[in-house]
Structure formats: structure tokens, C-alpha cells
Amino acid sequence: MIFAGKLTETLSIYKVEEVQGRTGYKSSSEEFVCDVFAERMKNKENLVVDAGELFHDLELTFRLRNRRELTETSILQYNGERYRVNSIDRYPRDNEMVIKVMKINE
């Protein structure tokens, strides 16, 4: 069970849709869905060297109330940064979910 006092972080959920034009060209568009409150649980940083390049991965874990709008293809915005959803663990009995997100490198 999540107590309301722990939900201190605000996440903005965006839904990604692919739109296909008459010519067959596909483009993706993002549509704002809603803002939700969450509890930030932990973060995990990795430094990986691959083919002589250094990659820095940042993965955050949040716990929030169960939301149907949040899917694996959603984009989250937290503190001005954009994150991709890696995994969603739903616990319907407790009406909560735990999500792991990874920062999008642009």
C-alpha cells in the first residue's frame, strides 16, 4: 500500500502513436495523456564500454497507483528529462505498480 505522503514526484505521461499519411510515410507523434504522482524508489547507473565507446545508462524506479494509461510504449517526463519505460510490474491487489524507466539519449 502506498501512502499519499510518499507520492512526492510528478510524472507526465505521453502516448506515442504512429501516423501514416496517404503516401505511406510513417511518422510518430506524442500526445500528452496525464500527470501522475509517484514515489521515487532507487536509481541505477551503469558505465559500459562497447567498441571503444563509453555508454552511460541511468535507470530509475518509481512506485505509483495503478494506471491503465501507462504502457510499455509510453514516454515519461520527469524533472524536464524524457524517459522510456523498460518494465512495468502491476500489483492490482494493492492498487499499485512499479515501473523502471531509462533515460532517452537525444
Print pLDDT tens along the chain (106 aa).
667 678 889 999 999 988 888 888 998 888 999 999 999 987 777 777 878 877 777 889 999 999 888 999 899 999 999 999 999 999 989 899 999 999 887 5
How do beta strands 75-78 and 96-103 pair?
A: unpaired
Using the Cα atoms of residue 86, residue 76, residue 47 and residue 42 in order, give the sign of their dihedral. Answer: negative
List all residues 6 or more positions away from 5 whose beta carbon is below 8 Å from its beta carbon.
none
Euclidean distance between CA atoms 65 and 39, whole angstroms: 10
Q: Residue 62 burial by CB count (10 A; 0-12/13-18/19+): exposed, middle or buried? A: buried
